[in-house]
Structure 1
Amino acid sequence: MVKVNKTAWGLTATFVLVAVFWDWAFLTPVKILVVFFHEAAHGLAALATGGRIDSLIVNSNQGGLAHAYGGSRFLVLNAGYLGSFMAGAGLILAASWTRKDRILIGLLGSALGVITVLWVRNLFGFFFGLAFCGFFLAAAKYLSDHTNDFILKSVGTVSAGYAILDVWSDVFARACRSDAAMLSAEFGMPRLFWGGLWILLSLGGMYWTFRLAAKADPHR
C-alpha cells in the first residue's frame, strides 16, 4: 500500500490551484500581499548590505517599487523574486515545524505592521499593509491553530509560487522594465537568463520545501 502524505499532496494541490486560477480576481489580495513581500525584500536586501530604504510603494494594480539606495545592487535586484520565494518557503516550513501557528501569524502581522509604518508611503499601500496586519493579528487572537496553519501555508504557497508564475508573465510573456531587465542592463546576460534562473531555483526550492514540510508537519 502506498502511504499518502497529506501535507505534500495538500501543498502541491494548493500550488496547482493557484497556478490554474492565477488571473482570477479572488486571488488579487494575496497577490498584492506577495508584491508587498517582494518590495520589502528589495529594501531589506539593501539594508543588509549597507544601504538604506527611502520608501516602499505597493499599488492596487499589483505593481510596486522599492526606493532603496546603496548596498549590493546585484543582491538587491535578485532579492525581489527570490525574497518572495524565501518568505513563502519560510511560512510553509515554520507552520509545518510547530503547532504554534497563532503565534506565527501574530508575528507575521506584527512584522507587516512595522514595515508598513516605517517605509510604505503611498496611501493604498499604507492602508493595505495595515489591513493585512490587522487581519493576521485578529486571526492570531480568534482563529484556531489549524485554521492559522491553513492560512500560513496558503499564503506561503502563493508567495513561493509567485517567483514562478509572475516571472513567466513579466519576463517571458511580455517585455517590461522588470528586475530581470535591470539585471541584464547592469550585469549582462539576457533578461530571459535571469528569469529562467529564478524559475529553476524556485521550482527546486519548492520541491525541497514541500518535502521538508511533509516530514516535519505536526498537523498531518
Structure 2
Amino acid sequence: MPLLYPHDYDTTHELVARSSDLTPNATQRTTLIIAGCYIIIIGILWHVPYLNLIIYPFKLLTVGFHEMSHAFMGVLTCAHIHSIELDPDEGGATTMSGGIPWLTLPAGYLGSGLIGAALIACGFDTDASKVASLVLAVFFLFTLWWARRNLLTWVLLLGMSGLIVLFWFVKGGVALRYLVLFIGVMSCMYVLWDVIDDTIARKVNSSDASAFAKICGCFPSQVWGVIWLLIAFCFFILGVLVGIIAFKETAAEQAEDAKHFLPTPGTSSALALPVAAPLALLAGGLSSAALALL
C-alpha cells in the first residue's frame, strides 16, 4: 500500500484549488455569455450589407491596433516611424525606416491580437477596464502623433476616446466594462479573419506574411499565416482564461470597488474628486493634443 506523504497531499490540494480557479462564477458566466453574443452579432453584421456599417468604426479601430503594433515594435527595434495611415476601405499602412523586419512585420497581427486578448481579460472587471481605457488613451495619443496628417485616424480615435469617456459615466463604469469587452472581442475576431483573408484564402501578394516569407525564406506566406492564426487564437483563449482566473469578484463587489477607484464625479466616495482628476486630465489632454498637432 503506497504511503501518502504530507507533500503529496499538499500537491493534490493545490491542483484542486487551481482547477477551481477556472470555474467561472455567476458574474463571469454572464460576461462569457455576453462575449459569446458579441461573437455571434459581429459575425452576422460583418457580412450583411448596410448593417455592417454599425461595426465599421470598430473595424477601423482594430486596423489602427494593427498599425499601432507595427509602429511600437518599430520603436522598440530603433526604427524611425514616418507615418501611420488608415483608409476608408479598412486598410492601413505604417511607414518606417530601420528596425528589425522579422519582428516588425508579424507585430501587426500578433500585437493587435494581444491587445484584443488583454482587453477581453480586462472586460471581466470594472476597475481593470478603467485601467485598460487609460492605457488605450496613451496609445491613441502616440498613434495620433504618427498619423497627424491622416484625417480619418483623427476622427476615429478622437471619436472612440469620447465614447470611452461617455461609457465611463454610465452606471459607475459597468457600461465601460462591456465596451472594453466588445472592443477586445472585435479585435481578436478581426485578427483571425484578417490573417485568413490575407494569407490563407486570397493569398494576397502584398500582405505582411508575404513580405515576411521573402525575408525568412523558410515557408510560403500561407504557412506563416497559419502559424500566426494559431498564435492569435491562443491569445484569444488566454485572454478569457486570465479574465476568469484573475477577476473573481461579483458584480456587487466590483460596483463597490469602482466607487473608490477612479470614480465618476458625484459618487458618494470621499475620494471621488481627487481620484477622478486623471479622467478629466485625460479628456483635456486629448483635446489639447488635437489642437496642438493640428
- Give the TM-score taking structure 2 as reference length: 0.67
Match status 1:50 vs 2:50? no
RMSD across aligned C-alpha pairs, in angstroms?
A: 2.3
Range moving further from structure 2, 191-200 or 138-147: 138-147
Return closer, same or farther for 1:199/1:103 CA change in 2, 3 Å cut-off.
Answer: closer
Question: Deviation at 1:46?
Answer: 0.5
Q: Which amino acid aligns with 2:207?
A: S
Secondary structure of the structure 2 residue equivalent to 1:175: coil
- Identical aligned pairs, as a percentage? 25
Return closer, same or farther for 1:139/1:110 CA change in 2, 3 Å cut-off.
Answer: farther
Return closer, same or farther for 1:142/1:96 CA change in 2, 3 Å cut-off.
Answer: closer
Q: Which runs of 5+ in 1 are unaligned?
A: none
Q: Which amino acid aligns with 2:214?
A: A
Counterpart for residue 186 of structure 1: 215
Q: Which runs of 5+ in 2 are unaligned?
A: 1-23, 252-294
Aligned residue pair count? 219
Question: Deviation at 1:166?
Answer: 1.4
Residue among 224, 227, 232 paired with 1:197: 227
Q: Which amino acid aligns with 1:209?
A: G
Q: Distance in 2 between matches of 1:157 and 1:136?
A: 16
Q: Distance in 1 between matches of 2:55 and 2:250?
A: 25
Q: Distance in 1 between matches of 2:250 and 2:194?
A: 30
Q: Which amino acid aligns with 2:221?
A: R
Q: Distance in 1 between matches of 2:250 and 2:87?
A: 36
Counterpart for residue 66 of structure 1: 94
Q: Distance in 2 between matches of 1:93 and 1:146?
A: 15
Counterpart for residue 156 of structure 2: 128
Q: Distance in 2 between matches of 1:153 and 1:106?
A: 15
Which structure ranks higher in relative contact order (CA pairs < 8 Å, sequence separation ≥ 6)?
A: 1
Counterpart for residue 195 of structure 2: 167
Match status 1:34 vs 2:58? no
Q: Which amino acid aligns with 2:196?
A: W
Q: Which has the larger radius of gyration?
A: 2
Question: Deviation at 1:172?
Answer: 2.2
CA contact (8 A) 1:14 1:157 kept: yes
